[in-house]
Amino acid sequence: HPAGQVMKADILGIYIKQHLDAWEGDNVMFSWHGGELLLAGLDFYRKVIGLQKEYNREGKRIINAIQTNGMLLDNEWCSFLSENGFIVGLSIDGTAELHNMHRKSAAGIASHNPVLKAWDLLKLYNISHELLFVVSNTNVAFPLDVYNFFRERAAEYITFLPLVEREGDNEVSPGSVDPLKFGQFLVSIFDAWKAEDIGRIKIQVFEEALRTAFGQEHTLCIFRKECGGVPLLEKNGNFYTCDHYADNENLVGNIRESSLTTLLLSRKQTDFGRHKETSLPLYCRQCEVIDMCNGECPRNRFVNTPDGEPLHNYLCPGYMMLFNHIRPFADMVATAWKSTPV
């Protein structure tokens, strides 16, 4: 939100204290969201750090994460982010030609060069960061151009975010990525990654799929059996079941009236999380790669299965293509891991 629309100091203080109290474990994650986050200004984040230090009575390790388009990143920002251990998600859609199709400044100027400078600053200040690439119908045809761009610039962590914009009940916008093309995009990149870059570049969707080889639970909410672990807290203190469902139906309460712990453990929140699994169509339950996908995000479940069941994921054909392609490699990794002496 613009500077005048950030969370007020009183609610910010309540939230930070309750978040620290509610978090189990020694490492506490704060994920800040809302438009272009740097527009909130450095003073807002200085206030955040001050309140975190004030309420962190148990000496827990605090990690703050923000996402930015990079246009406002400069030495002052990066010095602050580095000193306070922030993790930064930087939006960059690959090559200049692809990126500048949709990402321009408020003045209509191509933004690729400023974003590259922002990326260089993140590296210079040794700030942990991930690169966020939105896969749309305009760039999905260029997987290796995209991947080689990131490789050549020594990317370390990449997240591919499929663009799915609903129009009506089960239609999508012209810019939304086609599911099968999305699957082929990821398959092409997986093959290039497997050939040369395992252990050098982390790609979120591949890392998540390969967790199944080690019998590990998914870390990313969209692939977990149940969701509800990434709720949304708005600037007025309203608590929603998920950051994709900020509507009255999914309003759980307000932290000025109920503690964060109470809201997290509420029947409404837990029912929301369980509904992800209980609402899965039979078609999904019988899928050979259900352990890699678990139906993905409920917000994308708005089409019918091939046999007519509702609540099927729009992206299913693409994820099915990818995960079936990954499965032989995952099985090989699992076999090698199980046979390795402890």
Q: What domains lie within the chain, and their CATH numbers?
A: 3-278 (3.20.20.70)
- Alpha helices by DSSP H, 288-315: 290-293
| Residue length of the chain | 342
Instruction: Give the residue numbers marked as catalytic.
Output: 243
Structure confidence at residue 35 (pLDDT): 87
Give pLDDT tens digits for 199-258: 999 999 999 999 999 999 999 999 999 999 999 999 999 999 999 999 999 999 999 999
Beta bridge partners of 87: 65
Q: What is the mean pLDDT of residues 152-172?
A: 96
| Confidence grade of residue 4 (pLDDT, cut at 50, 70, 90) | low
Comparing CA positions, the residue from 26, 30, 23, 102 lying closest to residue 69 is: 102
pLDDT at 2 > cutoff 70: no
Give the DSSP per-residue string, 278-312. HT--HHHHT-TTHHHHTT--GGGEEE--TTS-SSE
| Confidence grade of residue 262 (pLDDT, cut at 50, 70, 90) | very high
Q: Do residues 272 and 241 make contact, with C-beta atoms less than 8 angstroms apart? A: yes
Place of tokens 């969209």: 222
Q: Which two tokens stand for residue 333?
A: 């990794």
**What DSSP state is assigned to residue 258?**
S
Residue 119 Cα distances to 20, 40, 116, 189, 331, angstroms: 31, 20, 5, 22, 36
Give pLDDT tens digits for 81-136: 999 999 999 999 999 999 999 887 777 788 999 999 999 999 999 999 999 999 99
Q: Do residues 132 and 89 make contact, with C-beta atoms less than 8 angstroms apart? A: yes
| Confidence grade of residue 269 (pLDDT, cut at 50, 70, 90) | very high
Residue 71 Cα distances to 61, 113, 116, 169, 337, angstroms: 29, 10, 10, 35, 43
pLDDT at 317 > cutoff 90: yes
Comparing CA positions, the residue from 31, 110, 24, 105 lying closest to residue 71 is: 105
